Amino acid sequence: MSPIGSDGYDYAQMPIDWVVDNNAILVTKMDGEVLPNTQGYPCMVWVYNTSGGNFVKRISNLTFMTQPEDAAMNQVYLGEFADDCTGEVYSKPNSGVLNYPTNVVLTGDEAKPVHLEGFADAWNEPIKKLEFSFDHGATWTTLDTPNNDSKYWTYWRMDFTPPEAGTYLMDIRTTSIAPDGSDHVSQYDTQFMFTVE
């Protein structure tokens, strides 16, 4: 099965048995309300325990095809994309800010202090900690996330009081726990820029 997005996105191809085993659903409502445009109105697919590449939004149609089973599984997004040069997985762990777009300009009460919220996820690895820096990595503030469950996003909140008006760059460094128990540190820091007036 391949859900096709209204923008032509057709990269998520999933074996039917795999879709059923992972409790996939077609979503048309959220919290009892019609699915908002930001979440994929009029319809999106949601697949438990997999990565975002399979969560097709604004579905215009579903295409069904016959393929050998091993070929079909090669099309499923399972949360790991490797750098062609280094061979390192760069797609996890990952993180981001959810309550503001990057380059936002904040004034008044929104700037005293700046309240930030976001997520961290590593698909099948639990998040161990997040680290935040506002001075280009010279110092870091650590948020530990003990007993984290890999099946859920880690949702974080923090307040930052800018010492003065200006533009700030926040770096987020995310660490998950690899299957062998070692720390898996994000290959790239997430960066979020905002201006306070």
pLDDT of residue 187: 86
The secondary structure of 146-191 as a DSSP string is: TT--TTSPEEEEEEE--SSSEEEEEEEEEEEE-TTS-EEE-SS-EE
pLDDT at 48: 76
Q: Which pLDDT belongs to residue 77?
A: 67
d(CA 194, CA 99): 12
Secondary structure string (H, E, C) spanning 111-135: HCCEEEEEEEECCCCCEEEEEEECC
Question: Per-residue confidence of the chain (197 residues) as pLDDT tens digits?
Answer: 899 999 998 888 888 888 898 889 999 998 999 998 888 899 999 887 677 778 899 999 999 989 887 777 777 766 666 677 777 766 789 899 999 999 999 999 999 899 999 999 988 899 999 999 999 999 999 999 988 998 888 999 999 999 999 999 999 999 999 999 999 999 889 999 999 99
CA–CA separation, 154 and 168 (whole Å): 24
- What integer pLDDT is reported at residue 42 of this predicted model? 94
Give me the pLDDT at residue 144, please: 92
| pTM of the model as a whole | 0.72
Rounded CA separation 38/26 (Å): 16
| End-to-end CA separation in angstroms for the chain | 50
Phi-psi category of residue 168: left, alpha or beta, with phi > 0 → left and psi -120 to 50 → alpha: beta
